[in-house]
Amino acid sequence: MGFPENQFQDAGAYARGYFDAVAAAAATVDGEKLAEAAAILARVYGGPGMVYSCGNGGSAAISNHLVCDHCKLVQTDTALTPRVYSLSSHVEMITAIGNDYSYDDIFLFQLRSLARPGDALISISSSGNSENIVRACQWARDNDVAVIAMTGFEGGRSAALADVNLHVDADNYGVIEDVHQSLMHVLAQYVRQAHMEADLVTKRVF
């Protein structure tokens, strides 16, 4: 059974339990997988390729936030020129595709128009089973676009399609999304500091 295991009557006690659950969930993320994901991003950011992100609901917010941190932050004090686009950000495109075709195709349709071999896709889905996420991951896999899948719960189908699965072993949506948000920050900050002059790292605010 996951958090919460019982009803709380005090918000402070709930918060302590929640943050304990976040810490425990974060500790389950595979460090070697994180290193693999960082290597993919550094490769794309150091070349002409694009990184695309996608997610639904709260995961869409993480996808959009990723553009800011990975595009703006990573190129600060480095020679990298990240090109990052969130497939969750263009409401006109999303509603047109959803209305005329299917909501299941909102990310796939955009990838088919924009992505090229050598690019990368970061999918963010707690269940890993959202059909629009799975279809995007499958298309990327079939078209030489590297897939980094952030997942929770049992991992779902997107975990199996990913080149790198950043899995959070938890079963509370808020906890999983909080760790996914942290992983987004970790990847941006790690890649940035790894490509900075060493003496600048302690002089900058991250």
Name residue 148's beta-bridge partners.
122, 164
Residue 114 lies inside a defined structural domain of this protein:
yes
Q: What percent of the chain has pLDDT over 90?
A: 99
Residue 6 lies inside a defined structural domain of this protein:
no
- How far from each other are the two terminal CA atoms of the chain, in whole angstroms? 36
Please report, to the nearest 10 degrees, the dihedral formed by the alpha carbons of residues 21, 25, 27, 31 taken in order: -160
Q: How many CB atoms lie within 10 A of CB 131?
A: 15
Domain of 176 in residue numbering reads as 30-201
CATH of the domain at 44: 3.40.50.10490
Find the length of the chain: 206
Residue 5 lies inside a defined structural domain of this protein:
no
| Tally of domains in the chain | 1
Nearby residues of 68 by Cβ (< 8 Å), 6 or more positions away: none
Residue 71 lies inside a defined structural domain of this protein:
yes
Residue 18 lies inside a defined structural domain of this protein:
no
Residue 19 lies inside a defined structural domain of this protein:
no
Q: What is the pTM of this model?
A: 0.96
**Chain segment 139-176, per-residue pLDDT in tens:** 999 999 999 999 999 999 999 999 999 999 999 999 99
Residue 64 lies inside a defined structural domain of this protein:
yes
SS3 letters across 37-73: HHHHHHHHHCCCCCEEEEECCHHHHHHHHHHHHHHHH
Residue 2 lies inside a defined structural domain of this protein:
no
Predicted confidence at residue 94, as pLDDT, reads: 98
